[in-house]
Amino acid sequence: MTKLVISAIGPASSVQDGGRHGAQRYGLTPSGAMDRLALAAANVLVGNSPLAAVIEIGPFGAAFTARDGAVRVALAGASRNADISGGTVAFNTSMTIPDGETLTLGFARRGSFSYLAIEGGIAGEPMFGSLAVNARAGLGSPYPRPLQAGDELQTPAASGGPERRLELPAPTDAPIRVLLGPQDDEFDDAAKQAFLDSEWRISATSDRMGYRLEGPAIKHLHGHNIVSDGTVDGSIQVPGNGAPIVLMPDRGTSGGYPKIATVISADLGRFAQTAAGTPFRFKAVSMAEAQAEFRKSAELLRTLPDRLRPIENFDLNIEALQDANVAGAAVSAVDAGTWSP
Amino acid sequence: MSATLPPPRLLPSGDSAITVEFSRNIDDAANQRVLALDRVIARQPIAGVTETVPTYRSLLVHYDPLRIGFDALSEQLVALAKLPVPPVTTARRWRIPVVYGGEHGIDLEDVARTLNITPDKIVARHVAGDYRVAMIGFTPGWSYLSGLDSQLHMPRRQNPRLLTPAGTISIGGVQTGVQCLAGPSGWHLLGRTPVRTYQLHREPTFLLEPGDAVTFSAVDAKTFADQNRAAEAGEIVAEMIAA
């Protein structure tokens, strides 16, 4: 059978999909892709269902080799230098890795997580309807842990279908929108203003469980201990030291710190792609606006296949050139020594 | 009775979940209302509600905003929360074996000193308790139990431990807990159980349900070791003493 061999990969890289839902009442968190739009984009490019399992690649480099046949894949999410045996390839396109050749990826340039979808999906045993890795709970398939060099994913042979590109809306640097609550009454107006008016940066100690924020300390009105209650992706909890933590898909299902606000669903992926150290701001919106944005995102996800375009050589070259020009310091993905943070 | 129930607070947890909060504190009456609302929704599903998560004092209701809006769902939840809380009809009661103290419960001596009770009496009081699963959360199978003897109440540790063993039985504040996976904890470790409240490839994967009744029985280290092997092989080990 054809397979994709992980020749090299950095930390924080794992198989992810739309997540496993329905068992949060037992303490099992959904996990799933940090950036759902990028997950869906990569899948749609190779004809998979939008929330099928893909390889989520953390900020560091990676290399993938096709064995016993060609493998058709697509890249989306955080852009990077990418080439197949030296020939530059572009993000938001499908591509075929010939048998024995290697797709090599550099560091993430804009964003943190890239998504590599494999035509036909990843073969594995779903647990609670999902292949997504949740290392703490020992879940995920084919490997219940982050990917390591030497891992192999079974794949169908490439269909030989025409390669395509996906036209996505232009990225934005607009503030990350939040709904206040559920425990915004644990903070006075000054604390809420400080939260909404300040510039924030994501700490380098962040991971798939939570993003720690660097900025002013947010003071509680009645102390930082509340009786644990349920969390969601995007819950912004404020522990005793006043430094907010935004909960991400591998979060605990309950938490005992007051939650000042919640990132709206439509902005979760964009927030997840905010690289450590990049300044950003929050903006409070109404429930009506948040749910209108939810509907817009769902509509975009649903209509992604309408945005597929045939690849003309001209398109590919322009994108490839742009990629190459922004490259700056290129780092070899197979040089494991450069991966230590 | 039902006329006197204060309405819950409905708090938005983002654009696709509502926290139905019955109390700000740990409160058995509030927890029973949480579990009652959870059961009502399980019996009469609300279109658009995708998942419910009971906690001590609130029910987190996940929903799909494409199918139901915040206002419409809030209205339905308020109406359901007004229903009288049915008398507690615990479907199931479990007896969970625990080996207390020593290497299995490294905080037992400290807890005894702090509370000025002998370690044996701590164990006796813990075993005598009649507990209820108030919520399951944090990590898979981590079961928070209400009903801890008030003499065993003590604040959590100043410095939480980064790693505590799988199967830890501990106390913290007014609660006791059954922890399944190894992980961080700020509670006081009294012992260990061989019972896995979460085990892949076992039927059922999750042993306890919110609302289940639980009692503990003290076992010796050899029994723990034997049962631990059996549990590892997929046996439930916990005893269901009423269903």
d(CA A15, CA A32): 9
Nearest CA in chain B to A296: B66
Q: Write the pLDDT tens digit of every residue in B189-241.
A: 999 999 999 998 899 999 999 999 999 999 999 999 999 999 999 999 999 98
Instruction: Give the ipTM.
Output: 0.92
Cross-chain Cβ contact B66/A294 below 8 Å: yes
What is the Cα–Cα distance from A246 to A234, expressed in whole angstroms?
6
In this structure, what token pair is assigned to residue A249? 């898909």
Q: Are B53 and A263 inside 8 Å of each other by CB?
A: no
| Chain A residues within 8 A of B60 when measuring between CB atoms | 24, 229-232
Whether the CB-CB separation of A71 and A110 falls below 8 Å is answered with no
Q: Does A325 fall in a domain? A: no
Any domain includes A198? yes
Chain B environment of A252 (Cβ under 8 Å): 137-139
pLDDT of residue B107: 97
The nearest CA of chain B is from the CA of A187 a distance in Å of 15
Check whether residue A158 and residue A201 sit in a common domain: no
Among B9, B11, B15, pick the best mutation site for testing chain A contact (most A Cβ within 10 A).
B15
pLDDT tens digits, A260-307: 999 999 999 999 999 999 999 999 999 999 999 999 999 999 999 999
Q: CA A193, CA A281: separation in Å to the nearest integer? A: 12
Shared domain for A258 and A199, answered yes or no, is yes
Which residue, A10, A132, A5, is CA-closest to A68?
Answer: A5
Quote the Cα angle for A282-A283-A284, to 5°.
125
pLDDT at res. A322: 53
- CA separation for the pair A297, A309 (Å, rounded): 20
Task: Write the CB contacts of B222 (distance below 8 Å, at least 6 apart in sequence).
Answer: none
Poorest-confidence range of A302-316, B19-33, B104-118? A302-316
Residues A93 and A180 grouped into a single domain: no
pLDDT, residue A325, reads 44
- A153-203 pLDDT per residue, tens: 999 989 988 999 999 999 899 999 999 999 999 999 999 999 999 999 999
Q: Is residue A324 part of a domain?
A: no
| Residue range B134-170, pLDDT digits in tens | 999 989 999 999 999 999 999 888 788 889 999 999 9
What letter represents residue A175's amino acid? P
Please report which residue ranges of A150-305 form alpha helices under DSSP H.
Answer: 189-197, 265-272, 287-302
- Does A128 share its domain with A222? no
Cα–Cα distance measured from residue A65 to residue A155, given in angstroms and rounded to the nearest whole number? 12
pLDDT score of B140: 94
Q: Is residue A321 part of a domain?
A: no
Q: Determine the structural domain holding residue A139 and report its residue range.
A: 2-166
Separation of alpha carbons B137 and A27, rounded Å: 4
pLDDT at B77 over 70: yes
Q: Taking the CA atoms of A300, A305, A309 and A315 in sequence, report the sign of the dihedral they define.
A: positive
Contact A254 B66 (CB under 8 A): no
Cis peptide preceding A171, ω within 30 of 0: no
Rounded to a whole number, what is the distance in angstroms from the first to the last CA of chain A?
A: 36
Averaged confidence pLDDT in chain B: 93
Mean pLDDT within A11-27: 96
Q: Which of A166, A190, A210 finishes a domain?
A: A166
pLDDT band at B88 (very low <50, low <70, confident <90, very high): low
Task: Please determine, for residue A222, whether its predicted confidence score (pLDDT) is greater than 50.
Answer: yes
- Average model confidence (pLDDT) for chain A? 91
Residues of B near A (Cβ–Cβ under 8 Å) read 11-17, 19, 21, 24-26, 38, 50-60, 62, 65-66, 69-70, 135-142, 144, 181, 183, 198, 200, 206, 210
Among B2, B237, B216, B215, which residue's Cα sits nearest to residue B90?
Answer: B215
pLDDT on residue B90:
60
- Report the percent of chain A where pLDDT is more than 70: 91
Asked if residue A162 and residue A34 are part of one domain, the reply reads yes
Number of domains in chain A: 2
**CATH number of the domain within which A189 lies:** 2.40.100.10
The answer to whether residues A182 and B19 touch, using CB atoms and an 8 Å cutoff, is yes
Task: Say if residue B2's pLDDT is above 90.
Answer: no
What is the distance between the alpha carbons of residues B196 and B227, in angstroms, rounded to a whole number?
11
| Separation in Å, CA A122 to CA A52, A130, A135, A140, A158 | 8, 11, 18, 12, 13
Average pLDDT over residues A113-120: 98
Contact A304, A333 (CB under 8 A): no
Question: Same structural domain for residues A162 and A180?
Answer: no
For residues A245-259, b (16+ Cβ closer than 10 Å) or e, as one string? bbbbbbbbbbbbbbb
**Quick check: B12 and A179 in contact, CB under 8 A?**
yes
Predicted TM-score (pTM) of this structure? 0.91
According to the model, what pLDDT value does residue A189 have? 97
Contact assessment for residue A108 and residue A275, using Cβ atoms and an 8 Å cutoff: yes
Please list every residue in chain A whose beta carbon sits closer than 8 Å to the beta carbon of residue B159: none
One domain for residues A138 and A190: no
| Residue indicated by tokens 């896995």 | B196
Least confident of A136-145, A329-338, B43-52: A329-338
Q: How far, rounded to the nearest angstrom, does the alpha carbon of residue B195 sit from its chain's CA centroid?
A: 15
Could you tell me where the beta strands, DSSP code E, fall in chain B? 9-12, 17-21, 49-54, 58-63, 93-100, 131-136, 143-146, 161-164, 168-172, 175-178, 183-185, 188-192, 213-218, 239-242
Q: Percent helix, strand, coil in chain B (nearest 5)?
A: 30, 30, 40
Residues of chain A whose beta carbon is less than 8 angstroms from a beta carbon of chain B are 21-28, 127, 136-139, 179, 181-183, 226-235, 252-255, 259, 262-266, 287, 290-291, 293-295, 298
| First-residue to last-residue Cα distance in chain B | 28
| Euclidean distance between CA atoms B28 and A164, whole angstroms | 59
- Give CA–CA dist A234/B190, Å, rounded: 35
Does residue A313 lie within any of the structural domains? no
Q: Please, are residues A155 and A74 in contact by the beta-carbon 8 Å criterion?
A: no
Phi-psi region of A2 (alpha: psi -120 to 50; beta: other; left: phi over 0): beta
| Position A60 pLDDT exceeds 70 | yes
pLDDT band with cut points at 50, 70 and 90 for residue A311? confident
Contacts of B139 in chain A (CB under 8 A): 27, 136-137, 252
Nearest CA in chain B to A125: B201
Let me know whether A141 and A222 are in one domain: no
Could you give the percent of chain B with pLDDT greater than 70? Answer: 96
> How far is Cα of residue A325 from the mean position of the Cα atoms in its chain?
24
Of A107, A141, A166, the position where a domain reaches its end is: A166
Least confident segment among A137-146, B40-49, B89-98, B201-210: B89-98
Using only C-alpha atoms, what is the Rg of chain B?
Answer: 19
Residue B155, number of CB atoms within 10 A of its CB: 11
> Rounded mean pLDDT of A207-233?
91
Q: How many residues does chain A have?
A: 341
Residue A220 domain flag: yes
Of A21, A230, A262, the CB nearest to B55: A230
CB A164 within 8 A of CB A307: no
Closest by Cα among A168, A187, A170 to A284: A187
Question: In terms of DSSP bridges, do strands A254-255 and A152-154 run parallel, antiparallel, or are they unpaired?
Answer: unpaired
Considering the domain architecture, whether residues A16 and A135 belong to the same structural domain is answered as yes
Query: Which range has the worst mean pLDDT, A93-97, A253-257, B70-74, B139-143?
Result: A253-257
Residues counted in chain B: 243
Provide the pLDDT for residue B61. Answer: 98
Q: Binning pLDDT at 50, 70 and 90, where does residue B86 land?
A: confident
The residue type found at A320 is: A
Average pLDDT over every residue of B16-39: 93
A155 and A254 in a common domain:
no
Does any domain span residue A74? yes
